[in-house]
């Protein structure tokens, strides 16, 4: 593998571990736990993995050894640091017994089902230490949810004498990890399943999980780009930049980038929903800022738009919900239809209220909402060009205001979408250490006989040696939600909380950012240099932990 100078230099970095994970560990167990909601339902669905205690690792003086082969799976979208979860896992299981083997299932959960795997060896893994991407073993979006899959997976698990599977994924993948753990426990197969909290979207967090890995690096990468565009904007002073940001439903990425870069406007989907705002109101709010700045001679600015926005506009959200159910129910006869026939099909099946909303949407947006869902039944929001939709609507409104004499500026705009640029960035020092510790923690959960747990690391705004490591039962984070038209047990997705500190901090200052030009230019992620430059975490985490 040919490498860049940075790749070569980073391979030599030794990730820092919390004191508790540096050698042998013992387990401290807490009290029995409850799921965050729908306790009776969850308990019934997970009789063998419900109610287990939160565990924390403490240093131990005893020599620790354990024979265990482990299988690891990367599930879903890439997030910086995934390779370091695997290196942490690898180094720990080898330390527990040099004969232990780590197997990587290829291209995601499908690799387990189809028996596609490699043994991860010292030689092989060294090329991937402290690197971005999931290319060490690849990732995929196959959902592990059917008994046949679990049984098919068991065959290869037995063949390779695997004691435990580690599934590195987002909320849905960790939900499935727990379903698998429960199934293997119920069948007394003696195969453990451990999850790891991965997603750049930042929506897998709660009282137990401070942050999902990759959020730090991805938001820093996007903030570098946003800052560069802000600086460009402030130099030529002639464009409004509409920047859409990845992040699925939640607006954590947009909010974090706003806190880092101080753009003129950042839309938070969760606020749009809470205030029951219409698309027209959003457009009017943006135009008010554009018109105010134009009066000051400032015909430029930067606007951040979370990719999930469209789902959170209540009328459109209702429409999407019905469309999700409709497409889940009628998927196959619908798929073969051409564009016009699909539109007619949808209009024929929608309720009256949603039919009206659908009919009034711009044609390309209506089309995009009618496309195939992802494997979890969700709209592929990243394909909807919300940034163009909004700027087109702003343009029309400003034209109207111009005619009415309410606006006298110039409005020229440029569009950007940042997503794929950040998912495989080389992990920041934070994610490098955090992920290595998560992998180490996962190995220790296995060595200590746990299943149905997610590896966790807490206290991460403190120096690394003060970080706290352990595991949390996945059922503890679950509730019942409607998915693909059915009620299912799922890990509750963490949306931006409007009374949380990050949003409050933003809310307090945003009018100033809108009126003035308060841009901050974070620049590229640094791996060396002053600690305040290269070791800082996200503003979100700083505010939440302060």
- Interacting residues with a second copy (CB under 8 A): 2-7, 9-10, 77-78, 107, 131-135, 138-140, 221, 224-225, 227-229, 231-232, 234-237, 241, 260, 262, 414, 416, 420-426, 518, 520-530, 532-534, 536
User: Which of 126, 165, 170, 96 shows the shortest CA–CA distance to 374?
Assistant: 170
Would you say 98 or 530 has its CB closer to a second copy?
A: 530
Q: Specify which residues 457 forms β-bridges with.
A: 469
Would you say 184 or 417 has its CB closer to a second copy?
A: 417
Least gap, CB of 146 to a second copy (angstroms): 22
User: Which of 503, 493, 536, 468 shows the shortest CA–CA distance to 18?
Assistant: 468
Least gap, CB of 111 to a second copy (angstroms): 12
Is 471 assigned to a binding site?
no
Would you say 3 or 275 has its CB closer to a second copy?
A: 3
Any residues with CB less than 8 A from the CB of 473 and at least 6 apart, and which? 33, 49, 50, 51, 52, 53, 54, 452, 453
DSSP characters over 259-303: HHH--SEE--HHHHHHTT--HHHHHHHHHHHHHHHHHTT---EEE
Residue recorded with tokens 């490098």: 432
Q: Give me 83's structure tokens.
A: 């390779």
CA–CA distance, 476 with 469 (Å, rounded to integer): 17
CA–CA distance, 337 with 354 (Å, rounded to integer): 21
CA–CA distance, 314 with 316 (Å, rounded to integer): 5
CB 173, CB 75: distance < 8 Å: yes
Task: Reply yes or no on whether 201 is catalytic.
Answer: yes
Would you say 202 or 227 has its CB closer to a second copy?
A: 227
Least gap, CB of 441 to a second copy (angstroms): 23
Helix (H/G/I), strand (E/B), else coil: 222: helix
Is 117 assigned to a binding site?
no
Q: Specify which residues 167 forms β-bridges with.
A: 73, 195
Is 420 assigned to a binding site?
yes
Is 201 assigned to a binding site?
yes
CA–CA distance, 10 with 215 (Å, rounded to integer): 20
Least gap, CB of 371 to a second copy (angstroms): 13
Is 200 assigned to a binding site?
yes
Q: Specify which residues 195 forms β-bridges with.
A: 167, 454
Residue recorded with tokens 């967090």: 205
**91, 172, 201, 216: which one is catalytic?**
201
Least gap, CB of 242 to a second copy (angstroms): 12
Would you say 54 or 536 has its CB closer to a second copy?
A: 536
Would you say 346 or 413 has its CB closer to a second copy?
A: 413
Phi, psi dihedral angles at 241 (to 5 degrees): -100, 120
Is 238 assigned to a binding site?
yes
CA–CA distance, 361 with 364 (Å, rounded to integer): 8
Is 247 assigned to a binding site?
yes
Q: How many CA atoms lie within 13 A of 71 on its CB side?
A: 30
CA–CA distance, 290 with 397 (Å, rounded to integer): 11
Q: Judging by beta carbons within 10 Å of its beta carbon (0-12, 13-18, 19+), is residue 221 exposed, middle or buried? A: buried
Is 246 assigned to a binding site?
yes
DSSP characters over 512-542: HHHHS-------S--SSS-HHHHS---HHHH
Is 307 assigned to a binding site?
yes
Would you say 141 or 483 has its CB closer to a second copy?
A: 141
Q: Give me 325's structure tokens.
A: 């159910």
User: Which of 451, 402, 507, 4 shows the shortest CA–CA distance to 191?
Assistant: 451
Would you say 206 or 526 has its CB closer to a second copy?
A: 526
User: Which of 255, 241, 342 shows the shortest CA–CA distance to 542?
Assistant: 255
Would you say 108 or 473 has its CB closer to a second copy?
A: 108
Is 422 assigned to a binding site?
yes
User: Which of 490, 494, 474 shows the shortest CA–CA distance to 541?
Assistant: 494
Q: Give me 290's structure tokens.
A: 């554009």
Binding residues for substrate: 199-201, 238-239, 246-248, 307, 420-423
Residues annotated catalytic, as ranges: 201
Per the annotation, where are the binding residues for Mg(2+)?
171
Binding residues for diphosphate: 77
């Amino acid at each position: 593998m040919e490498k860049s100078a940075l790749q070569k230099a980073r391979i030599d970095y030794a990730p820092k571990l919390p004191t508790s994970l540096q050698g042998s560990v013992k387990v401290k167990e807490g009290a029995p736990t409850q799921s965050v909601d729908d306790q009776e339902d969850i308990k019934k669905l997970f009789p063998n993995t419900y109610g287990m205690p939160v565990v924390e690792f403490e240093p131990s003086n005893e020599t620790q050894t354990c024979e265990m082969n482990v299988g690891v799976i990367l599930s879903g979208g890439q997030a910086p640091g995934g390779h370091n979860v695997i290196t942490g896992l690898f180094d720990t299981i080898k330390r527990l017994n040099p004969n232990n083997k780590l197997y990587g299932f290829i291209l995601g959960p499908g690799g387990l089902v189809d028996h596609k795997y490699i043994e991860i060896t010292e030689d092989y893994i060294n090329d991937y230490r402290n690197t971005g991407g999931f290319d060490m073993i690849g990732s995929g979006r196959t959902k592990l949810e059917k008994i046949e899959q679990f049984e098919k997976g068991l065959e290869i698990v037995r063949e390779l004498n695997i004691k435990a599977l580690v599934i590195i994924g987002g909320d849905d993948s960790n939900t499935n990890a727990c379903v698998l753990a429960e199934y293997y426990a119920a069948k007394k197969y003696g195969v453990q399943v451990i999850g790891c909290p991965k997603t750049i979207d930042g929506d897998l967090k709660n009282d137990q999980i401070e942050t999902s890995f990759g959020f730090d690096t991805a938001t820093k990468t996007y903030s570098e780009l946003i800052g560069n565009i802000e600086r460009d904007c402030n130099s030529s002073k002639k464009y409004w930049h509409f920047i859409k940001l990845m992040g699925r439903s939640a607006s954590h990425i947009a909010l974090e980038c706003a806190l880092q870069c101080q753009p003129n406007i950042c839309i938070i989907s969760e606020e749009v929903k809470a205030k029951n705002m219409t698309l027209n109101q959003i457009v009017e709010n943006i135009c008010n800022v554009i018109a105010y700045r134009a009066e000051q001679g400032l015909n430029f600015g930067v606007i951040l738009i979370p990719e999930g926005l469209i789902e959170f506009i209540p009328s459109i959200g209702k429409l999407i919900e019905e469309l999700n159910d409709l497409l889940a129910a009628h998927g196959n006869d619908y798929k073969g239809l051409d564009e016009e026939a699909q539109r007619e099909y949808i209009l024929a099946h929608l309720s009256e209220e949603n039919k009206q909303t659908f009919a009034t949407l711009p044609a390309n947006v209506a089309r995009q909402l009618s496309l195939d869902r992802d494997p979890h039944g969700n709209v592929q929001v990243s394909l909807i060009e919300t940034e163009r939709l909004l700027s087109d609507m702003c343009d029309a409104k400003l034209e109207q205001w111009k005619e009415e004499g309410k606006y006298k500026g110039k409005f020229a705009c440029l569009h950007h979408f940042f997503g794929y640029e950040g998912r495989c960035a080389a992990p920041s020092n934070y994610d490098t250490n955090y992920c290595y510790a998560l992998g180490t923690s996962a190995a220790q959960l296995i060595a200590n006989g746990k299943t149905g747990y997610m590896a966790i690391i807490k206290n991460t705004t403190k120096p690394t040696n003060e970080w706290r490591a352990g595991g949390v039962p996945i059922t503890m984070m679950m509730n019942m939600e409607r998915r693909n038209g059915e009620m299912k047990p799922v890990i509750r997705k963490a949306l931006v909380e409007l009374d949380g500190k990050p949003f409050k901090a933003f809310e307090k200052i945003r009018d100033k950012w809108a009126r003035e030009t308060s841009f901050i230019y974070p620049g590229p992620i640094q791996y060396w240099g002053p600690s305040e430059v290269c070791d800082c975490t996200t503003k979100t985490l700083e505010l939440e932990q302060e």
